Every structure is written in structure tokens, then in C-alpha cells.
Amino acid sequence: MVSRLNPYLSFNGDARQAMEFYKEVFGGTLALNSYGEFGQADAPNADKIMHGMLETTSGFTLMGADNPPGMESEQGSSYSVSLSGDDDAELRGYWEKLSEGGSVSVPLEKQMWGDVFGMCTDRFGVPWMVNISTES
């Protein structure tokens, strides 16, 4: 898989509705995964979206999710730039450069869904998400 760069939008509880709306606008294939599907079936936010991805026939990729409890977004801060792929060395190289001089909110490490993932804000205040797929 080639590494790709795309926007990642954050929502305060209405990610499902927003991502379904974007599918109506752009067409394509929409995949939505809830917090409940990732081991939090009894949590109050079990039906909220942990990860959504819209891939269009025009080649657009738009990702989004509901913020976890206690992590509310403010208008103007409802996005991240996402880097994803399976080239471990390439993506770790980007991570090192982006996080240097910035702040790390989620260390780049293996996550419950099996991939290596991290979140940081670069020295210019841009939030980044890096996901290294571990599946072949």
C-alpha cells in the first residue's frame, strides 16, 4: 500500500451523520466502526464512531471520528492530517520529523486494532495522525 495523506475530521457525537452526508455529496464507499466494535461495548459511547473512512471514485479519502469522552473539540480545531500506509520505515521517518519540536499526545505504538498509531502536533500547531498498517 502506498502511503497517503488525507484530512481527518473530529466530531462531538455526530460523526455518523456527517460521514453519511459526505458520502451523499461525494459518493464512494463508507466504512464506519464504532467504539463498541473495538472492545468498548458497555461504554456510554459504544455507538459513537471510533473511525470512519470514505473513499470516493474520484480518489478522495476523508476520515473522521467522534471524540472520546473528555476530549471535546473546539471550532477550528476539528481536524488532523492523517498519514497512513504499511511502509514502516517511511512513516516512522515522517513521525520523527513531525513530532520533533512539537508535542506528542499519543505515542507511536501498537494499538488495540493491531496497527501502530500515534498522534502529535508539530511545532507549527498542525495536528498529525500516523497509522502504520500491520496487515499484509
Predicted pLDDT of residue 21: 86
Cell of 22: 459526505
Q: Give me the phi and psi of 106, to 5 degrees please.
A: -135, 115
Instruction: Report yes or no: 64 and 52 within 8 Å, Cβ to Cβ.
Output: yes
Convert the pLDDT of each residue in 13-65 to its tens digit.
889 999 998 999 888 999 999 998 887 678 788 899 999 999 988 788 999 99
Predicted pLDDT of residue 72: 66
Q: Is the whole-model pTM more than 0.95?
A: no
**Angle subtended at Cα 71 by Cα 10 and Cα 108, rounded to the nearest 5 degrees:** 80
Question: Across residues 93-121, what is the average pLDDT?
Answer: 94
